[in-house]
A and B are shown apart, each in its own frame.
Chain A
């Protein structure tokens, strides 16, 4: 089992719809979770972090965490073509602290 798993996609949604991106992780002790966005040919940038169970909202983005199910998701409301990118889920290893990335989910928002 991979340490951090994501569906590679592509996930295609129409403009204005809600995009739902999912991530599962194997380390039950993990305490912090991160979503990075990576545009094609660019480097990753942090867009959300979440540390406790439940939802965290920031503008059009909502991160959801369920530690019991070892599941973290990212919702993007009112999706825009500019949201088209690869979204990387990242979880620190509880043993070493190093940040482990999933393979990323490619999101395509069609006008």
Chain B
């Protein structure tokens, strides 16, 4: 079974530039998550999708971050304009559970490491 695919693995940009990350979840998984993990910290949820709807985006900085999952499968996370503090690993995860129940096991992709100079 293919795992969660993410790209690019690494990205270096200058502040105020834009960047986009792509994620393809495990086939059949209804729920998709984007987490931000700053060095030395645990992952922080940015946005959770169930199929193509947003379940939780309370910690997404909406003035600069956006995410979509138009067809309920793959997803894109965009940052525009980037700030120095956005330097982090952006982890995509998927699970088969549905919102409202216990989260069960999250399967993570390898992550996209962003460096903002």
Contact = CB atoms under 8 A, between A and B. Distances in A.
A98 B56 contact: yes
Interface string A64-85: 0000000000000000000000
Interface stretch (B13-21, B41-49, B64-72, B80-88): B41-49
Contacts of B25: none
Contact of B43 (A8, A88, A97): A88
A63 B56 CA distance: 29
A90 B42 CA distance: 9
Nearest to B113: A41
Please classify the interface of chain A as helix (H, G, I), strand (E, B), loop, or mixed, using the class held by over half of its residues. Answer: loop
A54 B108 CA distance: 28
Contacts of B110: 42-43
A43 B91 contact: yes
Contacts of A97: 55-56, 99-103
B42 A103 contact: yes
A44 B43 CA distance: 9
Contacts of B99: 97
Q: Which of B45, B91, B102 has the most CB of A within 10 A?
A: B102
Contacts of B111: 43
B61 interface: no
Given A43-B91, A98-B56, A104 B42 contact: yes
Given A42-B110, A43-B91, A101 B42 contact: yes
A96 interface: yes
8 contacts: A43-B91, A44-B43, A44-B108, A88-B43, A96-B55, A102-B42, A103-B40, A103-B42
